[in-house]
Amino acid sequence: MALPRRNSGSRFTLAVLLLSSITLISLDARGYEPLTKLRKAATAVVQPFRNLASTIFDPIGDAWESLSQGDNLEKENALLRAQLGDLLEYRTTTEGAVEELAALRTQLGLENLGGQETVVAEVTAQSVSNFDPYILEIGKGTQNGIREGMAVISVGGLIGRIEDPGLRSARVRLVTDPNVSIGVLVVGTNQVGILTGNGVGQPLRVPDGIPVSADVEIGSILVTSGSERSPYPGGFAVGTILEVLVDEINLEKELVVAPTGQFENLEFVTVVLYEPLDNQNGRGN
Amino acid sequence: MLMFRFIKALFVITLVLVLQLELFSSIRFFGVMPELMLGLAVASGWHGGPSNGALTGFVCGFAVDLYLATPLGLSALSYALIAYLIGIVAEIVAEDVERIVRLIISIASVALGLVLFVLFGELIAEPNLYNKNFGKILVVGALYTGLFVPLLHYMMSWVFHEGSHAGNQRPMNRSQLT
């Protein structure tokens, strides 16, 4: 088995390709506009093929899901029934809390959610990567007024924010991403902390910022704080406190939070057409 | 001739890309989808040799990059490199290598490609790439992709070996391809 002599041409080709890749990575990291446009254009060109393929393959994907997740669905149904029972019971005891929450919002100067314009978008794909499961794709984009950073909600509350919107599609970065941070307020208190994701299927966390003396309780609702620099409008339900852990050394409380928004089997989501003032000014400049 | 090969390659890449994005992103084993485009880059290295393979691998990676949240060029870098390496390996091993050996080499290359992708990603501090599921993604992803490797080889054989893809081996000298 004789080793063939490789010509310098193949090495030159490889060197050019590697340099091109590194240049692309570098330019993309700097937010080089033509590359962003190229990405959007390529997405738009292939989108009709994807839509066609989606029409053909969706039933196959659904069938696979029902086959592979049959047991999970039964368990989920049982869990949901139990939760529904609990919620009905909870509702009778907490009807007054709704009025209390409205009063608190007014008191804290949070914006009225009802006043925000929204767009309902179909979830066209889950994550298309093995390495980044914190992404959804939706079938509406800048054509429908959707902009980078806008909040996305599903049944129950906030689930993510818009990332890299195209003309007719956009990505949603889910709050379960460990790299996502959200300023939150514990309803009924003035306690504000930073909520971070903790992976798919894992509870969210507020690792610090809540003093040990703060009166936070299990079951309390967390809403977006709507602080000046936050990309989210205030008052969106994000989660309920599952557990309160006390850090004796730093004299802080760590909150383990169950997200209120639905992440599984999403078909539609709502995008809140809200842009923080910073974004609007930045675009204006 | 070159133009015809280019069109065939473009057709195969688009077809596999759409299949990966629309079909296999929802048909997952243990939450892992096959890395068909990486498998295609590996097959292109095998059939096209280091130079053509690296170029096709780059295009495969670039096409995937357009749809990922990771920086543009990260997959292109990994796929081009792995296609080049497999091109060298394919030149070293015997021309009439058993298909099972080719399959094993291809699966190992897919795993190596995933490692390279994560490694380069970590070097540029890209979040979410190396996580606790990495081992599972590596093993399941490579084996799952392995199921489609014969088909991907067949496609790339069709692209690079004019009129002789039915044998699915390398019937001609690579110097004729360049």
Please tell me the predicted confidence (pLDDT) of residue B25: 85
Q: SS3 for A154? A: strand
A123 CB-contact burial (10 Å; exposed 0-12 / middle 13-18 / buried 19+):
middle
Closest residue in chain B to residue A19, using alpha carbons only: B77
pLDDT tens-digit series, residues B94-152: 667 788 889 999 999 999 999 999 999 999 888 878 888 899 999 999 999 999 999 99
Cβ <8 Å between A164 and B69: yes
Residue, of A199 and A94, whose pLDDT is higher: A199
Nearest partner of B110 among B131, B140, B74, judged by Cα: B140
Residue A40 binned pLDDT confidence (cut-offs 50, 70, 90): confident
Q: At residue A202, what are phi and psi to the nearest 5 degrees?
A: -105, 150
Helix (H) or strand (E) holding A73: helix A70-108
Residue A59 binned pLDDT confidence (cut-offs 50, 70, 90): confident
Nearest partner of A165 among A37, A12, A18, judged by Cα: A37
Cβ <8 Å between B68 and A23: no
Give the contacts of B75 (CB within 8 A, at least 6 positions apart).
B37, B38, B60, B61, B62, B64, B65, B68, B117
pLDDT tens-digit series, residues A112-137: 455 678 888 988 888 888 888 888 88
pLDDT tens-digit series, residues A156-202: 788 999 988 888 888 999 988 888 888 888 888 878 888 888 887 78
Of the candidates A18, A171, A173, the beta carbon closest to that of B77 is on: A18
Residue, of A98 and A121, whose pLDDT is higher: A121
DSSP structural state of residue B85 = H
Tell me how far apart the alpha carbons of residues B62 and B168 are, in angstroms, rounded to a whole number: 26
Of the candidates B35, B68, B71, the beta carbon closest to that of A25 is on: B71
Please tell me the predicted confidence (pLDDT) of residue B76: 95
Query: Which segments of A129-191 are extended strands (E)?
Result: 135-138, 151-154, 157-163, 170-174, 181-186
B10 contact A CB<8A: no
Kind of pairing, strands A118-125 and A268-272? antiparallel
Residue A282 binned pLDDT confidence (cut-offs 50, 70, 90): very low
Of the candidates B49, B55, B71, the beta carbon closest to that of A29 is on: B71
Residues of B in contact with A179 (CB under 8 A): 127-128
Tell me how far apart the alpha carbons of residues A126 and A248 are, in angstroms, rounded to a whole number: 41
pLDDT tens-digit series, residues B78-101: 999 999 999 999 988 866 778 888
